[in-house]
Chain A
Amino acid sequence: MAKTYDYLFKLLLIGDSGVGKTCVLFRFSEDAFNTTFISTIGIDFKIRTIDLDGKKIKLQIWDTAGQERFRTITTAYYRGAMGIMLVYDITNEKSFENIKNWIRNIEENASSDVEKMLLGNKCELEEKRQVSKERGEQLAVEYGIKFIETSAKASIRVEEAFFTLARDIKAKMEKKLVSHVYNDCF
Chain B
Amino acid sequence: MPDCSENYENEISEGHNVRSIKCKFCNSIILKPSVASFTTVQFQLPLMKQTGGTNHPETEELSLFWMVTDMLMFENVGFSNTVGNNKYLTCADCEAGPIGYYDLSSKKSYVALSRVKHC
A residues at B contact (CB < 8 Å):
1, 4-5, 8, 25-29, 31-49, 58, 60, 66
Contacts and interface: CB of A to CB of B under 8 A. Distances in A.
B79 A45 contact: yes
B57 A37 contact: yes
Contacts of A43: 78-81, 90, 95
A58 B25 CA distance: 23
Nearest to A43: B78
B87 interface: yes
Interface string B84-110: 000110111111111000000000000
A4 B80 contact: no
B25 A1 contact: no
A25 B79 CA distance: 12
A27 B76 CA distance: 12
Interface of B: 25-26, 28, 35, 46-50, 54, 57, 69-83, 87-88, 90-98
Contacts of B75: 47, 49
A71 B52 CA distance: 36
A63 to B, nearest CB: 10
A44 B79 contact: yes
B54 A41 contact: yes
A28 B74 CA distance: 19
30 contacts: A1-B69, A1-B73, A25-B78, A26-B76, A29-B25, A29-B26, A31-B26, A33-B25, A33-B96, A34-B95, A35-B50, A36-B50, A37-B57, A37-B97, A38-B80, A41-B54, A41-B80, A41-B83, A42-B80, A44-B79, A44-B87, A46-B76, A46-B78, A46-B79, A47-B72, A47-B74, A48-B76, A49-B74, A49-B75, A60-B72
